[in-house]
Amino acid sequence: MTENAHVVGLVGSLADDSTTRIAVDRALDAATAAGATTELLDLREWDLPVFDADAPDAGDAPELRRRLRAADAVLLGTPMYHGSYASPLKTALDYSGFDEFADTTVGLLAVAGGGFPLPALEHLRETMRALDAWTLPDQVAVPNSHAATADGRLADEDIEERVAELGHALVTYANVAAYPDCPTTPAPTAGD
């Protein structure tokens, strides 16, 4: 566990009444309760044009990268769009890279209008693998989003608990790659 861990949540929905935002917010509350400082990066408030590889510093991209680099753990929350994660999050991730995610603990949360947003979680997990992040094995899927919230809160107690556990796990495993007894490269053994 990292003392004074800093956990950053990134929300991939721009919708005003976003279930994803409510869920990420709840996870960050749990992280705060576990002793972390937290920040929710709401992409509605960021100037991030569709990514152009010839303009990687467009808009607020440098500041976004700075905030992500300050994190010991990052929570990525996304709605499922057409069987994958949402384009605002993809854009934010395309402006980022190894400097922001390599060796960073990452938690995943996805929300679907339908039964199960598993593909969005799998695609995010693969993206994080490409950036050498340490993605937590536990993840949260919020199905049936039309019924998932009430009065600005998660309506289902079990889902709410899973979301809170994810927030807690981000603090427990923040900076896991830096643990001295958890080397990123295995030590050579005799005969290697």
Ligand X SMILES: Cc1cc2nc3c(=O)[nH]c(=O)nc-3n(C[C@H](O)[C@H](O)[C@H](O)COP(=O)(O)O)c2cc1C
Residue 154 within binding range of ligand X, rule CB under 6 A:
no
Residue 108 within binding range of ligand X, rule CB under 6 A:
no
Query: Least distance (Å) from ligand X to the CB of residue 23?
Result: 8
Binding segment toward ligand X, per CB under 6 A, in 66-74, 81-89, 93-101, 179-187: 81-89
According to CB under 6 A, which one of 5, 8, 28, 81 is a site residue for ligand X?
81
Query: Least distance (Å) from ligand X to the CB of residue 20?
Result: 3
Give the interface size with ligand X as a residue count (CB under 6 A). 15
Pick the closer one to ligand X by CB: 13 or 96.
13
Cα distance between residue 79 and residue 98, in whole Å: 24
Pick the closer one to ligand X by CB: 5 or 120.
120
Binding site for ligand X (CB under 6 A): 13, 15, 18-20, 79-83, 111-114, 145
